[in-house]
Structure 1
């Protein structure tokens, strides 16, 4: 095989999880074939990093009821944590090499756990700071998970499996905390539960993670900047998540604007999550078999249709259908966005920045929508989402055309 002739020539020879795989005729690269425990440790840490996205309404709402956060501090806390997850994932990719991952993952998991413990005795700005620190640690855990996924021979399948499993994990934890823990122990019960789960991530990481090979193909210059094509694709990811999150945060207000009962809106959120699981599972099953650009284009068109239905739903059933389309597209498209990044950047370094683009987009979308939405009209957030999906596909097509 060109470039790499035997295992002794592979980078990071101490890693126990390296295989050699040819990538579409390019020079050989060292990829990972993770062992079961290594994969579990990395993906569990990633699931812990993203757990707060499903827990924020429950935990922050309970903290407000207990008088420990004001309404404005809820928004500040949520944005601070999500921004720090994105920043943490990006910074980890810049300053860390994929060595000593057991130590890095173990330390990040413990910081994440201790931040939740600290919040149990905090209120106001102290909670904002503690959750921001938790977000930074979560970003490192997410970087480790994405580092493994990006180095596999089928990253789109691993990504789909991770997103599907992470969503199911959120559902289980949210249901358990909301029905068994918070009614009895309040917000501190939820924070304690989060701390235990984070400590488990620290333990699994410190025992099971292995080093990863460096993501630099032999023809690339180490430390060189990413070319324009993956940067355009990353911008597309940012816009996609901004479009989706801008609509998601105003789903309740949309339902009220359409004079739908609160029970219908609550059901729509459950339908949304269920179809997210279906979307992630579908992407995992299909893998790389369908052509990439038509899949991304179809997802954008389907998402625009779902948004239109949500904005003008003539009945509760139509609103639920719009929520189902919305949830399906969200998780179905994400693995193919990762596959696009791998195709336009054979070093796979851009793929490591995917979580940062996603989290920053998730935080930026609602912020932009807040300037457009009025007290009685939430449709501008949906229109922003529709425009964003159109721009997303244009950016993806542009990046692939430049890379061709």
Structure 2
């Protein structure tokens, strides 16, 4: 890590902007996931289990690619990887949207997942090299959610009625192309995790990082199980589709609010206190969704859940970066998130196969409760190891 007297080259405004936008490109599909699954179900006449598998295949590809980044993220040119990843994601979306079979849809989703993961891994790693990752992770979640709001307003009102399911894929590709020029502002590589000393990591010192990664996966698994079926909950309650789409866009503004709060707080209160707050907000949102037959309760629950995502994911990744100051493991937060997102929709689809969403809500509660306990253990274990290390180094 850089000392206070050293200037960190990664804190340059243009580099931070490039990292934030790269992450936003990588999150485009996730932030439009409910609309995409709903459109796939309506245009392809699919069941809940089938649309859940769409999300699972996407995030399987996402996880495979981002897990491999552990071996190459510090060795390759980030700009080349980012542009290549955009091309792969666009190809996958075209196959999924233009194919005539369910198998083609699943295959396209797997390929698209690989592409989106590549650029998201670059953005996340770039921002971890800055002096205040928590602040810039909050900023990147804000950018991700803001783009999602725009797409969730445009897609159901303009794109889907006129161009259908293939238009949905084309709109996401267009969004990526419009944002892509900012990638040229990236440096070819980062500044951490390059020396032999930084590569040395004892098992005891990395244990807390692994618990934080598990907690990240559980956090996103529960969140995605709910977020992926929020649109279906509204449809099942008989709400107007356009009204539901507008509500989803509004709920993403709450994700923006949560991430803006994270950006404003930065490292001021550490990571654990904001994480606890994010989990508590999520639990209140779940309680509101149990009354989802009332639109007011449904909207409130969705908004609180998304606020907790915006606040919580920023500090989830920041916790990994904080516990892993040499930059070796932070990129694994991307596949950890991907694993959680990969299993969330599939499990939710299985649980909702009977037509009731109560099991999905219960699943969200259980996974985030375990996530909270894992974050608490990781933070306390990391603090204990840091104290022991300091004692060993003190003459």
Is the CA contact 1:311–1:379 (under 8 Å) kept in the aligned structure 2? yes
Q: Distance in 2 between matches of 1:73 and 1:253?
A: 13
Residues 193 and 320 of structure 1: CA distance in aligned 2, closer, same or farther (over 3 Å): closer
- The alignment status of 1:100 with 2:100, answered yes or no, reads no
Given the alignment, which residue of 302, 311, 315 partners 2:290? 311
Whether the aligned pair in 1 keeps the contact of 2:215 and 2:370 (CA below 8 Å) is yes
Cα drift, residue 22 of structure 1? 2.0
- Secondary structure of the residue that 1:33 maps to in structure 2? helix
Q: Which of 33, 38, 60 does residue 83 from structure 1 map onto?
A: 60
SS of the residue aligned with 1:212?
coil
What's 1:7 paired with?
Answer: none
1:167 aligned residue: 145
| Distance apart, 1:376 and its partner CA | 4.3
Matched with 1:337 is: 316
1:382 deviates by 1.4
Aligned: 1:386 with 2:365:
yes
Structure 1 pair 299–199 and aligned structure 2 pair: CA distance change class (3 A): closer
Q: Find the counterpart in structure 2 of residue 347 from structure 1.
A: 326
Q: Does residue 205 in structure 1 map to residue 183 in structure 2?
A: yes
User: 1:140-179 counterparts in 2 under 5 A?
Assistant: 140-179=118-157
Tell me which residue corresponds to 1:181: 159
2:89 maps to 112
- Which structure has the highest helix share of the two? 2
**Separation (CA, whole Å) in 1 of partners of 2:93 and 2:198:** 42
Instruction: Give the whole-Å Cα distance in 1 for the aligned partners of 2:293 and 2:100.
Output: 43
Instruction: State the Cα distance separating 1:349 from its structure 2 match.
Output: 2.5
Q: How far apart, CA to CA, are the structure 1 residues paired with 2:38 and 2:284?
A: 32
Instruction: Give how far 1:144 is off.
Output: 0.7
Give 1:238 shift.
Answer: 0.8
Cα contact 2:212–2:320 (8 A) shared by 1:
yes
1:240-319 map, 5 Å? 240-252=219-231, 254=233, 261-262=239-240, 268-312=247-291, 315-319=294-298
Counting matched residue pairs gives: 379
State yes or no: 1:322 paired with 2:318: no
- Higher relative contact order (CA closer than 8 Å, sequence separation 6+): 2
Which blocks of at least 5 consecutive residues in structure 1 are unaligned?
1-19
The structure-2 alpha-carbon separation of the partners of 1:398 and 1:175, relative to structure 1 and needing over 3 Å to count, comes to: same
Separation in 1 of the partners of 2:276 and 2:184? 41
Structure 2, unaligned runs of 5 or more: 384-395
Q: 1:350 Cα shift?
A: 2.6
Write the distance in 2 (CA, Å) between the matches of 1:95 and 1:223: 18
Q: How does 1:3-18 map to 2 (within 5 A)?
A: none
Question: Is the contact between residue 88 and residue 140 of structure 1 (CA under 8 Å) also seen in structure 2?
Answer: yes
RMSD: 3.2
1-structure distance, mates of 2:65, 2:213: 17
1: distance between equivalents of 2:363 and 2:181?
A: 42
Is 1:131 the counterpart of 2:109? The answer is: yes
Q: Deviations over 1:249-300 (max 9, x none)?
A: 343565577x674477556534422211111111111111124323222322
Mapped to 1, the partners of 2:381 and 2:195 lie a distance apart of 20
Query: What is the TM-score of this pair, normalised by structure 1?
Result: 0.81
Measure the CA separation in 2 of the matches of 1:316 and 1:183: 24
Q: Quick one: distance in 2 between partners of 1:106 and 1:253?
A: 34
Instruction: Mark the structure with the bigger radius of gyration.
Output: 1
Q: Could you say which residue in structure 1 is the equivalent of 2:387?
A: none
* 2:19 alignment partner, one of 42, 47, 71: 42
For residues 177 and 332 of structure 1, the distance between their equivalents in structure 2, rounded to whole angstroms, comes to 26
